[in-house]
Structure 1
Amino acid sequence: MDNQQGRMAYSVSEAGHQLSMSRATVYKLIQAGEIRPFKSGTRTLIAASELTAFIDRKMKVAA
């Protein structure tokens, strides 16, 4: 992930790019409760820490 720039949050599309997933897949993960988004006005955003936690959980399952 691109934490070198100090990004704290990503749009759904940007999160999908970071995870190498489609926007639709990210929305499915949100609906399934695997990724927690937050709203800023009308925008749906995902914290960088939430993406890191999602990857960490998937790595534990894969191990």
Structure 2
Amino acid sequence: QFNGRLECPTHNRHADRHDHHAQPDPTRHITFLDDLRARLRWHHLRTEPADPDNDDDPRGPTFI
């Protein structure tokens, strides 16, 4: 199911739209851009954003 055709009822509720006799997509090598894209996506999804109102700042309140 790594070819993007999810055919389980939980993910795809329309069984008449399944591509039952399709051939899977051909395998290909992972490129540098594929690796970079996955690392950036992982970092973006797993890193919490910085607190814009950091009350524990030792420098005290900062005013712009």
Q: State the TM-score, normalizing by the size of structure 2.
A: 0.31
- More strand, by proportion: 1
Look at both structures and tell me which one has the larger radius of gyration over its CA atoms.
Answer: 2
Higher relative contact order (CA 8 A, sep 6+): 1
- More helix, by proportion: 1
